[in-house]
């Protein structure tokens, strides 16, 4: 065989090996960002305070990556084998990271340690990747080209990951299955490297092939049974039988039923129980409707995609139009079509008086041009930075601009007992936004405990009933004044107002709940 005939296969083999390392750099960048997003999102879902946990995750991740990069300089022999081992470990640990977090959250007290250890381990292994790849590619290109190619592909993978996560992975696959899928994708690095370098690695390569295959089988089995596992895991979190569960681009929606009790959970947080939700929704809607001096023709409802607040509004014939604004189209679709929800919201969102707008409440208020006689803020509690902005001075100023001069606004304001600083911060923030007349009130909702609201206006309210209490199960004209009375242990305290650039209500809320949950 001539030298030319010998050189051709060698050249082809070298090209395959180079292409393999290029692929490894791209997939490494893709997976590294996905793992970081998955872990931070999971912890934020379970514990709230997304800013805190995204910041903590990024900090731990970057520190561990730096340590991994530093340690790589001491690894001088068997570089290819060690790179493959690192990718197998990364595929396994990254792949099962979210299942492990789910498991520890529901069955042990080790959730926080597990979160920290997983983040550090994954960060450390990712820190090894770029130094290893750069040194492995020394045989194919000069250093400046190696670094440029590896980093550009790594960053390209990261870009694709950040686009795919919110628009595909989260809404279509969910966090749990995405973790397992990317564990397999990460494991493919080991597979292609082992194939491309099979002659170089010899018997060691076969052992590593067996190890990679075994770890891949573990992940595949977990992925195959993930739907059943998730159902069982979900059921552990809830008392009732799960009748609907889905992950949307914005939240995890879960409906449970136990006898006649239908419950809605968003990201695991209870939103209502059909046993007593009428107490909450009557207090939210009937208080402003009873005391409004002028006819209420146009009503804006922000949040309340379940249709229950709208159900109460439809009891008043004088209302000509209800505009409901909710961020999540899947929530309003469920309210229109799910038989369990239809039983209690009475098909309210299908009423011709009701217009459903899928939009962010803040953005809607910025863009809306026609004023409303009544604005109802029935938004989730301010347990994330995104939600806390909907309780800010800037938000309430926008709401005020969307209100007629003699209109009313009512806001659900969390619990004055469990999160007293948050409740009074919301009340104070509404006043600071230009509502000269604010009237905090509260009621007992057994599923939640003592729950608070703030009625506000630009003109003083004359608390003489102007309308009958329509088809109520809870409120009467005689009992309504008592809702404005606050017992000594929940009376107003000195707190700061909530602003977008200083979301104190988030800290008030999380710190208070942490006290009661510890």
Complete domains list, the chain, with CATH:
3-232 (1.20.1250.20), 236-270 (no CATH), 276-517 (3.40.50.150)
pLDDT at 124 (0 to 100)? 96
Order of strands across the sheet that contains 241-247? 241-247, 252-258, 261-266, 269-273
Question: Are the C-beta atoms of residues 170 and 248 closer than 8 Å to each other?
Answer: no
pLDDT at 8 (0 to 100)? 46
DSSP conformation class of 456? E
Region of poorest pLDDT, from 233-247, 309-323, 429-443 = 233-247
Region of poorest pLDDT, from 43-52, 288-297, 472-481 = 43-52
Give 167-224 pLDDT, tens digit per residue: 888 878 888 999 999 999 999 999 999 988 888 888 898 999 999 999 999 999 999 9
pLDDT at 421 (0 to 100)? 96
Query: Active-site residue 507, yes or no?
Result: no
Question: Are the C-beta atoms of residues 100 and 175 closer than 8 Å to each other?
Answer: no
Going by DSSP bridges, is the β-strand pair 354-358/449-457 parallel, antiparallel, or unpaired?
unpaired
Give 453-511 pLDDT, tens digit per residue: 999 999 999 999 999 888 899 999 999 999 999 999 999 999 999 999 899 999 899 88
Going by DSSP bridges, is the β-strand pair 261-266/298-303 parallel, antiparallel, or unpaired?
unpaired
Burial of 121 (0-12, 13-18, 19+ CB in 10 A): middle
Helix residue ranges per DSSP H, 73-136: 79-107, 111-136
pLDDT at 248 (0 to 100)? 86
Catalytic residue chosen out of the listed positions 306, 378, 381, 507: 378
* Paired tokens of 296: 């209420």
Question: Are the C-beta atoms of residues 452 and 491 closer than 8 Å to each other?
Answer: no
pLDDT at 386 (0 to 100)? 84
Average pLDDT over residues 404-415: 96
pLDDT at 370 (0 to 100)? 92
* Paired tokens of 336: 């229109």
3-state secondary structure of 416: coil
pTM exceeding the 0.85 threshold for the entire prediction:
no
Average pLDDT over residues 7-23: 72
Confidence of residue 143 (pLDDT cuts 50, 70, 90): low
Helix residue ranges per DSSP H, 165-225: 174-196, 198-224
pLDDT at 385 (0 to 100)? 82
> Mind spelling out the 3-state secondary structure of 466-479?
CCCCCCCCCCCCCC
Question: Are the C-beta atoms of residues 388 and 353 closer than 8 Å to each other?
Answer: no
d(CA 343, CA 64): 52
Residue 50 in this model has a pLDDT that exceeds 80: no
d(CA 182, CA 170): 13
Residue 294 in this model has a pLDDT that exceeds 70: yes
Average pLDDT over residues 302-316: 96
Q: 302: left (phi > 0), else alpha (psi -120 to 50), else beta?
A: beta
pLDDT at 1 (0 to 100)? 52
Between 403 and 146, residue with greater pLDDT: 403
The string of DSSP codes covering 10-58 is HHHHHHHHHHHHHHHHHHHHHHHHHHHHHHHHHHHHHH--HHHHHHHHH
């Amino acid at each position: 065989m001539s030298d030319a005939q010998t050189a051709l296969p060698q050249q082809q083999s070298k090209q395959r090996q180079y292409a393999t390392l290029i692929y490894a750099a791209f997939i490494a960048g893709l997976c590294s960002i996905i793992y970081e997003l998955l872990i931070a999102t999971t912890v934020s879902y379970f514990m709230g305070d997304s800013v805190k946990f995204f910041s903590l995750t990024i900090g731990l991740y970057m520190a561990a990556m730096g340590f991994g990069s530093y340690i790589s300089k001491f690894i001088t022999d068997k570089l290819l084998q060690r790179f493959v081992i690192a990718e197998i470990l990364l595929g396994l640990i990254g792949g099962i990271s979210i299942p492990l977090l789910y498991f520890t959250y529901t069955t042990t007290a080790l959730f926080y340690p597990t979160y920290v250890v997983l983040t550090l381990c994954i960060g450390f292994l990712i820190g090894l990747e770029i130094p290893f790849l750069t040194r492995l590619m020394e045989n194919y290109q000069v250093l400046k080209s190696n670094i440029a190619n590896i980093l550009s592909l790594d960053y390209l993978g990261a870009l694709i990951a950040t686009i795919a996560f919110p628009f595909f992975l989260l809404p279509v696959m969910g966090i749990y299955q995405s973790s397992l899928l990317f564990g397999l994708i990460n494991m493919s690095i080991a597979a292609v490297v082992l194939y491309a370098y099979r002659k170089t690695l010899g018997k060691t390569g076969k052992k590593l092939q067996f190890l990679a295959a075994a770890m891949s089988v573990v992940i595949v089995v977990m992925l195959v049974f993930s739907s059943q596992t998730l159902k069982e895991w979900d059921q552990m979190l809830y008392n009732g039988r799960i009748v609907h569960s889905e992950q949307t681009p914005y939240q995890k929606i879960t409906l449970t039923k136990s006898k006649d009790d239908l419950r809605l959970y968003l990201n695991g947080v209870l939103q209502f129980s059909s046993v007593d939700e009428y107490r909450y929704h009557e207090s939210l809607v009937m208080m402003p409707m009873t005391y409004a001096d002028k006819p209420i023709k146009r009503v804006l409802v922000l949040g309340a995609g379940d249709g229950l607040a709208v159900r109460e509004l439809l009891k008043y014939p004088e209302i000509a139009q209800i505009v409901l604004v909710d961020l999540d189209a899947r929530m309003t679709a469920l309210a229109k079509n799910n038989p369990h929800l239809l039983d209690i919201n009475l098909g309210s969102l299908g009423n011709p008086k009701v217009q459903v707008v899928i939009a962010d409440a803040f953005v809607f208020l910025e863009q809306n041009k026609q004023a409303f006689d009544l604005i109802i803020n029935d938004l989730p509690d301010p347990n994330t930075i995104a939600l806390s902005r909907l309780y800010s001075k800037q938000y309430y100023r926008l709401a005020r601009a969307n209100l007629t001069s003699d209109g009313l606004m009512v806001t659900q304001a969390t619990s004055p007992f469990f999160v007293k600083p948050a409740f009074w911060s919301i009340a104070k923030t509404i006043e600071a936004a230009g509502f000269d007349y604010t009237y905090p009130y509260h009621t007992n909702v057994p599923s939640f405990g003592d729950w608070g609201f703030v009625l506000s206006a630009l003109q003083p309210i004359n608390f003489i009933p102007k309308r009958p209490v329509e088809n109520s199960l809870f409120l009467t004209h005689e009992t309504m004044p008592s809702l404005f009375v606050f017992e000594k242990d929940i009376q107003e305290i000195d707190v700061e107002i909530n602003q977008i650039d200083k979301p104190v209500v988030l800290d008030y809320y999380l710190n208070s709940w942490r006290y009661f949950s510890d």
